[in-house]
């Protein structure tokens, strides 16, 4: 069973803000996912050849060409921190 405290911990690891009202919903969803994974762990896969893809795949390349992109102001509109027209992020590697 996933608790609200577990949801808070996971959200903190992912640097996400979760509303109090959503914590119960996410706890149930995460619990359901873990139950499903547990069912998958019970499957007997002895003799099953590992595969990278379930269907045959091939690369389909397209021409590499410049196309219009999102405007800088729109891209930065919801950024929690920005400086000089760029996203500002906290350092992740310390010395």
Q: What is the pLDDT of residues 8-52, one digit of tens each?
A: 999 999 999 999 999 999 999 999 999 999 999 999 999 988 887
Q: Are 4 and 23 in contact (CB under 8 A)?
A: yes
Q: Which domains does the chain have, with CATH numbers?
A: 1-45 (1.10.20)
Q: How many CA atoms lie within 13 A of 3 on its CB side?
A: 3
The DSSP symbol for 84 reads: T
Tell me the whole-structure pTM to 2 decimals: 0.52
């Amino acid at each position: 069973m996933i608790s609200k405290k577990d949801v808070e911990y996971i959200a903190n690891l992912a640097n996400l803000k979760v509303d109090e009202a959503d914590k119960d919903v996410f706890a149930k969803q995460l619990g359901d996912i873990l139950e499903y994974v547990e069912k998958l762990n019970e499957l007997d896969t002895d003799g099953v050849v590992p595969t990278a893809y379930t269907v045959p795949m091939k690369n389909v390349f397209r021409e590499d060409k410049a196309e219009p992109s999102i405007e800088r102001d729109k891209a930065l509109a919801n950024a929690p921190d920005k400086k000089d027209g760029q996203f500002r992020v906290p350092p992740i590697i310390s010395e």
